Chains A and B, each alone.
Chain A
Amino acid sequence: GAVVSQHPSWVICKSGTSVKIECRSLDFQATTMFWYRQFPKQSLMLMATSNEGSKATYEQGVEKDKFLINHASLTLSTLTVTSAHPEDSSFYICSATTGGGYGYTFGSGTRLTVV
């Protein structure tokens, strides 16, 4: 079945540094990838939608300069949290789809802790 690999699974970084999270579709080509943020005991909040080769579409309230998304190939999207602050600490989850009713495959998530 479809598999999405997300790396790293957890990361601790110092305030002010940047962190990159990778999301790879291992056995299919993902035309679209989505990035979500999940707070403890809460739902997944969509941050942005990225299509291969084009700029990401950010949801209202999400700072595009802080959460840089790159979708350079059909199998890889990256989320870079720039100048991270403790309030950016969260669980980040990516999802990939080929569209056309195929459905969505989710990565295992990245726990980011900013100290």
Chain B
Amino acid sequence: AQSVSQHNHHVILSEAASLELGCNYSYGGTVNLFWYVQYPGQHLQLLLKYFSGDPLVKGIKGFEAEFIKSKFSFNLRKPSVQWSDTAEYFCAVNEGNNQGGKLIFGQGTELSVKP
């Protein structure tokens, strides 16, 4: 069965610091990969997704992620975080041959950005 692992439970950064959140998955086949953000009291919003093509994916709000197939990883990055990036971040995976299939989520990473 698929599983998704996010290694960082809680990350605390100062504004303007660079961010990298780890995400690893276990599934041997083709996958689709997603990063979602959940601001306090709000619903999940899609930051970016990877289906195929260029493994470096650009998302909204200056976020990007790189799919490294050999490492089963899809780490999220942002060069310079802002206080408004404070939120919970979730990595998610589904099977690549069924793009409407069920999403499996990682444990989530809480990001706190200090002004």
| A interface residue numbers (CB < 8 A to B) | 31-32, 34, 36, 41-46, 49, 93, 95, 97-104, 106-109
Contact = CB atoms under 8 A, between A and B. Distances in A.
Given A41-B110, A42-B108, A32 B42 contact: no
B24 to A, nearest CB: 14
A107 B43 CA distance: 6
B71 interface: no
Q: Is the interface of B mostly helix, strand, loop or mixed?
A: loop
Given A98-B100, A101-B99, A103-B49, A44 B105 contact: yes
B102 A46 contact: yes
A6 B97 CA distance: 29
A49 B105 CA distance: 15
Given A43-B90, A49-B102, A100-B100, A106 B108 contact: no
A103 B108 contact: no
A34 B44 CA distance: 14
A43 B102 contact: no
A84 B110 CA distance: 30
Interface string B77-109: 000000000000010000000111011111110
**Chain B: interface residue count, which band?**
20 to 34
A104 B94 CA distance: 11
A44 B110 contact: no
B16 interface: no
Contact of B108 (A34, A43, A98): A43
B74 to A, nearest CB: 16
A33 B102 CA distance: 9
Given A32-B100, A100-B99, A103-B49, A93 B44 contact: yes
Contacts of B106: 43
A107 B108 CA distance: 18
B51 interface: yes
B46 interface: yes
Between B51, B103, B110, the greatest number of chain A beta carbons within 10 A of the residue's beta carbon is seen for: B103
B46 to A, nearest CB: 6
